[in-house]
């Protein structure tokens, strides 16, 4: 069995890596993060590449590919720590595609796929939802795993900006009492969105690990690179183990979304739990490898650590997804640390 990407998937990954590395060099990334802004010109370029509609069927204006291709782009966005509304736009597209009515799909998906009429999506809790990139979205999908999920035009929703520790992404508290209900259960869309975020976390963790390894090779103490000391080399090895474990579970979950959807709920929760844990653990370990300089504002690592922390809670924390895995496997859910 071939577990590698196809030639087309390799091309998507290579294009994404090169494009994002060019557009989000360290100085540009820091400037956008400190200003709490996105680069609209880069979003337009992403749209021209067809990324927003990569998983959307061709009849709705997309490329007609799958969740695996979406994950490839998401991992590269995480690796570059790209300040972009891509994630929430994709989550809205997944919700409308898999749970929306024919009318809702025909009305909103073409704009989401083209990037010209962005969507946003978030999970409802206590009557409101914390939604990434809700400000400026044409359509907002509020997903309620335990109630009625709704679709509302952005102009009709109450959107209040919310600050978070992650300055590379915008958040808002959204309330919308008069939205249209989604016609189907949003379970598949919630699981697919969790897989997409997991892929982003894998990219974040991969980059943080590479930063640690590079620093461990260059930084010397007592005339030797610090990576030659076991305390550092073993920590780097553990980071690799966690990154690859999260990557494996995440890509398996993406494969199930495209090929074995009945397995997706379990696979997605396994992936989100693993990626949330790895995202935080690896970025925190990278901080330790960097020592004192890693704790300074001037070093870029803290942006990755904060993205990992917030991503770890979006669309369900590691603890929530472990409980879900236990439930789906027929086991009694045990209390887990957040």
Dig out the tokens for 84 from the structure.
């972009």
Contact between residue 84 and residue 42 where contact means Cβ atoms under 8 Å apart: yes
HEC sequence for 33-100: HHHCCCCHHHHHHHHHCCHHHCCCCHHHCCCCCCHHHHHHHHHHHHHHCCCCCHHHHHHHHHHHHHHC
SS3 for 123?
strand
187-328 CATH, one of 1.10.10.10, 1.20.140.10, 1.20.1050.10, 3.40.50.620? 1.20.140.10
pTM, rounded to two decimals: 0.94
Taking only the tens of pLDDT, the chain with its 338 residues reads: 467 899 999 999 999 999 999 999 999 999 999 999 999 999 999 999 999 999 999 999 999 999 999 999 999 999 999 999 999 999 999 999 999 999 999 999 999 999 999 999 999 887 778 999 999 999 999 998 887 899 999 999 999 999 999 999 999 999 877 789 999 999 999 999 999 999 999 999 999 999 999 999 988 888 898 888 889 999 999 999 999 999 999 999 999 999 999 999 999 999 999 999 999 999 999 999 999 898 899 999 999 999 999 999 999 999 999 999 999 988 865 555 55
Strands, sheet with 119-125, edge to edge from the N-terminal-most edge strand: 158-162, 171-175, 128-132, 119-125, 139-143, 150-153, 180-181
Alpha helices in 123-263 (DSSP H): 187-218, 230-259
Residues sharing a CB contact under 8 Å with residue 22, sequence separation 6 or more, in sequence order:
none
What separation, in Å, do the N-terminal and C-terminal C-alpha atoms of the chain show?
A: 37
Dig out the tokens for 41 from the structure.
């010109």
């Amino acid at each position: 069995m071939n577990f590698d990407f196809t030639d087309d998937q390799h091309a998507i990954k290579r294009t994404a890596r090169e494009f994002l590395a060019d557009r989000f060099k360290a100085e540009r990334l820091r400037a956008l993060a400190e200003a709490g802004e996105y680069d609209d010109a880069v979003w337009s370029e992403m749209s021209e590449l067809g990324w927003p509609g990569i998983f959307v069927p061709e009849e709705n204006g997309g490329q007609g590919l799958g969740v695996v291709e979406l994950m490839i782009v998401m991992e590269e966005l995480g690796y570059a720590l790209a300040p972009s509304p891509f994630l929430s736009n994709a989550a809205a597209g997944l919700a409308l595609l898999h749970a929306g009515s024919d009318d809702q799909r025909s009305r909103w998906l073409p704009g989401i796929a083209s990037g010209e009429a962005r969507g946003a999506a978030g999970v409802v809790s206590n009557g409101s939802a914390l939604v990434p990139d809700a400000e400026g979205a044409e359509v907002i999908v509020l997903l309620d795993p335990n109630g009625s999920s709704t679709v509302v035009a952005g102009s009709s929703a109450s959107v209040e900006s919310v600050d978070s520790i992650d300055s590379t992404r915008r958040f808002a508290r959204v309330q919308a009492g008069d939205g249209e209900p989604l016609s189907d259960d949003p379970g598949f869309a919630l699981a697919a969105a969790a897989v997409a975020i997991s892929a982003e976390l894998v990219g974040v963790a991969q980059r943080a690990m590479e930063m640690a390894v590079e620093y461990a090779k260059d930084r010397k103490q007592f005339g030797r690179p610090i990576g030659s000391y076991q305390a550092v080399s073993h920590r780097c090895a553990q980071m690799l183990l966690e990154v690859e474990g999260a990557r494996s579970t995440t890509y398996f979950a993406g494969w199930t979304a495209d090929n074995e959807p009945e397995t997706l709920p379990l696979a997605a929760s396994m992936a989100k739990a693993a990626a949330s844990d790895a995202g935080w653990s690896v970025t925190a370990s990278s901080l330790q490898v960097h020592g004192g300089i890693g704790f300074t504002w001037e070093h870029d690592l803290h942006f990755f650590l904060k993205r990992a922390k917030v991503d770890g809670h979006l669309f369900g924390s590691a603890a929530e997804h472990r409980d879900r895995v236990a439930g789906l496997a027929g086991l009694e859910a045990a209390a887990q640390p957040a």
